[in-house]
Structure 1
């Protein structure tokens, strides 16, 4: 896989969709909570949860809130009892940095990722989303959309998360803004054209896509 392949996808998607301005949140803290709430559900359900959660969406307020009360507020996100426990575990970690995002941003990216992965319920994708969109560390986020799109185009990507991520980062060596936009563009493309049942007509990458649908 040549370096130009990933960049070509990025350029075609950027030309077609334009800058996405992600993550869809008003603050880094809202972004981090949203990255936990969106696990195993749609963003639409997360938005419903935020309608009830937003009046309490402050670090120390949620930190002091009983987990049972938090679970009721985020009920519409699904798996709400489990997610409430995950949010509380994340807050226990975040409290070590006095809930200051700037203090977290100063940490070494590799060390920070290890810390995030040690938190109950924070997997590789969620950790990388936080690293990219809240803590300003340039990483490529591997999600189901990236896997689907790259496979259909014809890229033979590793199955393991870190190997997939490493392959893209080694070839592209992009900056923070590049990875920010690339992830957002892949999500948008998966929603508009490269759906589970793809809409190939008008697709911006159609001319070089292998259209592997099996």
Structure 2
């Protein structure tokens, strides 16, 4: 039986306005606060958002440490850095030549928009639109910057979010970014703290329990709400 077949063994939850807040409460009670994002400034969040693409966070931290050791954790310093040396700093994060180009492009846009001070004064939609123009910055990376760097009430969704909430039965596995984000925007008040915490909790569940091929459904805090987990249990019975 395929994952899509298992997800269809129980009707999808239709009352998302109630279900989404309940799932948040269950995760917070089970896992506790996650204290995200580990960065000291909005610009550092931008750097992390670029480097974390297709990379484990521990590897991103190594690259950030290398930048800080050279005193290159400013857009001006990154743009002035020799290209080969910058790429070498980013090596631990993987795809370092591509990421050095993307980081430089992000820094150019950052400065063109007036730096952190200029971005703070921008409306959320305008800031999001401007950052999405940067080659290599997709919706998830930009929304990381908006939520964690500037405290804007924009919910960040990722592969973990799609996997977990499609298995539960709230969305299709093929749902797009905007549709999945709308699920949270429609069901929750625009609370930056809750958006921050919920996304972090989802990442923890995705890494520790709701794995792609070997999910730990029996131990998952969401097992009572999950159509996928129910199907797995029925298979064994």
TM-score range, shorter chain: over 0.9
Distance 2:151 2:121 in 1: 9
Equivalent residues of 1:67, 1:88 under 8 A apart: no
Distance in 1 between the 2:75 and 2:107 partners?
Answer: 8
Residues 135-164 of structure 1: per-residue CA shift (max 9 Å, x gap): 211111110000011011111246221122
* Alignment correspondent of 1:202: 219
Aligned residue in 2 for 1:15? 29
Higher relative contact order (CA 8 A, sep 6+): 2
Match of 1:103 in 2: 118
TM-aligned CA deviation for residue 106 of structure 1 = 2.1
TM-score (norm 1): 0.92
Q: Distance in 2 between matches of 1:135 and 1:89?
A: 20
Which residue of structure 2 aligns with residue 181 of structure 1? 197
Aligned residue runs from structure 1 range 1-214, under 5 A? 1-2=14-15, 3-55=17-69, 56-99=72-115, 101-157=116-172, 159-196=175-212, 197-211=214-228
1:98 Cα deviation (Å)?
Answer: 4.0
Q: Relative to structure 2, which stretch is displaced further, 31-40 or 198-207?
A: 198-207
Count of matched residue positions in the alignment of Structure 1 and Structure 2: 213
Deviation per CA, 1:88-114: give whole Å up to 9, x if none: 011101112443x24312211111111
* CA shift for structure 1 position 10: 0.6
**Uncovered stretches (5+) of structure 1, i.e. residues with no partner:** none
